[in-house]
C-alpha cells in the first residue's frame, strides 16, 4: 500500500467507527445551534440522573447503557461553549451558529402590530399563563422522541424566521407553519396530557400538550378545540381543527415544540431539519 494511502485509510476507519458508535438519538436529534437541540452523554448509572440547563431541569432518557440529556437551546443562546449541570459535574457542549431568514408580513389590523394599553394588559396576563405551561415538568418519559407531523401538508413558514409586521421587527417565529385548509384535524405527535387551553390575543385558540419531562407541544390559531384541560391523549389523537384565529393572515397550522422552556425547531423531530 502506498505510504500516503495508509494514513488516509486509517482516518476513514476511525471516522466510520466513531459515527457507528454515536447513538441513534444523538445522530437523529443532536443539532446544537440556537433554537436547536444538544444531546449530552451523561454516562451509565443505576437510575436516571438529573440534569439542568440554565437552572431548568432537562429531559433525560436511556439508550442502551447510557443516559442522555436532551437539551433545548433557546434562540437567544450565543454560539460557543455552553454547560449542562449534573450533580456536581459541569458538562460542556458546543453551540454552533445558524443564520435564520427574514419574513415580512402585512397586517390590516394595526392593533396586532402595536396593541393598545388594554390589549397589552391582556397580552401580559396570557403570556404568564403560557410561560407557566412551557415550564411544566412532569416525571413521565415521552412515548416517542421522533414525532409525527400534526398535519400532512407543506411547510409555509419555518422556525426561527425573523418576522417584520408592517415593517416593524417582532419576536422570531417560534414554530413551524403548515399550509393546510381550515378544518383540517390536528393530531398530537406523541402521548401527552392537555395542560392549557386558551383563546389568546396573538395565538388565537390554543392547546398545550405535555409529552413528559418538559417536552411540550403547542398548537394555535385553531378554529375549534376538541380536547379538555387535563385530558390524557394517545399519539395521533385529534386536539382540534386548523383555523386562522389570533394574529394570522389565513388558515394554517402553527406548531411549537419546547424543551426545558426553550422553543426549539420542530423540524428536528420530524426529520426535516436544515442546517
Q: Give 3-state DSSP helix, strand, coil % of the chain, rounded to 5.
A: 20, 40, 45
Residue 42: Cβ within 10 Å count: 21
Indicate the fold that domain 22-95 takes in CATH. Immunoglobulin-like (2.60.40)
CATH 2.60.40.1590: which residues of the chain? 22-95
Could you tell me where in the chain the CATH 2.70.70.10 domains are found?
102-270
Round the average pLDDT of the chain to a whole number and report it: 88
Residue 247's pLDDT is 84
**Please, which pLDDT band fits residue 156 given cuts at 50, 70 and 90?**
confident
CA–CA dist 60, 57 (Å, integer): 9
Percent of the chain predicted with pLDDT > 70: 84
SS3 37: strand
Assess whether pLDDT exceeds 90 at residue 110.
Answer: no
Task: Provide the pLDDT for residue 112.
Answer: 60
What are 87-100's pLDDT values in tens digits? 899 999 999 999 88
pLDDT of 178 over the 80 cut: yes
pTM of the model: 0.86
pLDDT in tens, 214-269: 999 999 999 999 999 999 999 999 999 999 999 888 999 999 999 999 999 999 99
The CATH number, out of the four listed (3.90.440.10, 3.40.50.10490, 3.20.20.140, 2.70.70.10), of the domain defined by the range 102-270: 2.70.70.10
Amino acid at each position: 500500500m502506498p505510504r500516503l494511502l495508509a494514513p488516509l485509510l486509517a482516518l476513514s476507519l476511525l471516522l466510520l467507527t466513531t459515527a457507528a458508535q454515536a447513538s441513534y438519538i444523538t445522530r437523529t436529534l443532536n443539532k446544537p445551534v440556537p433554537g436547536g437541540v444538544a444531546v449530552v452523554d451523561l454516562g451509565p448509572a443505576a437510575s436516571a440522573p438529573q440534569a439542568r440547563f440554565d437552572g431548568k431541569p432537562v429531559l433525560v432518557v436511556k439508550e442502551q447503557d447510557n443516559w442522555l440529556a436532551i437539551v433545548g437551546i433557546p434562540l437567544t443562546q450565543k454560539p460557543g461553549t455552553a454547560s449542562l449541570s449534573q450533580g456536581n459535574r459541569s458538562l460542556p457542549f458546543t453551540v454552533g451558529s445558524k443564520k435564520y431568514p427574514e419574513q415580512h408580513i402585512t397586517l390590516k389590523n394595526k392593533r396586532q402590530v402595536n396593541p393598545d394599553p388594554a390589549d397589552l394588559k391582556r397580552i401580559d396576563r396570557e403570556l404568564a399563563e403560557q410561560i407557566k405551561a412551557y415550564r411544566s415538568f412532569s416525571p413521565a418519559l415521552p412515548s416517542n422522541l421522533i414525532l409525527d407531523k400534526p398535519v400532512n401538508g407543506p411547510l409555509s413558514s419555518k422556525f426561527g424566521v425573523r418576522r417584520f409586521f408592517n415593517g416593524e421587527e417582532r419576536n422570531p417565529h417560534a414554530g413551524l407553519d403548515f399550509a393546510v385548509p381550515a378544518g383540517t384535524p390536528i393530531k398530537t405527535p406523541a402521548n401527552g396530557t392537555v395542560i392549557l387551553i386558551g383563546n389568546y390575543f396573538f395565538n388565537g385558540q390554543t392547546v398545550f400538550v405535555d409529552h413528559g419531562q418538559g417536552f411540550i407541544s403547542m398548537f394555535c390559531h385553531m378554529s375549534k378545540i376538541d380536547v379538555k384541560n387535563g385530558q390524557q391523549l394517545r399519539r395521533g389523537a385529534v386536539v382540534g381543527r386548523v383555523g386562522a384565529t389570533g394574529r394570522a393572515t389565513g388558515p394554517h397550522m402553527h406548531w411549537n415544540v419546547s424543551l426545558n422552556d426553550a422553543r426549539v425547531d420542530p423540524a428536528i423531530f420530524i426529520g426535516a431539519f436544515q442546517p
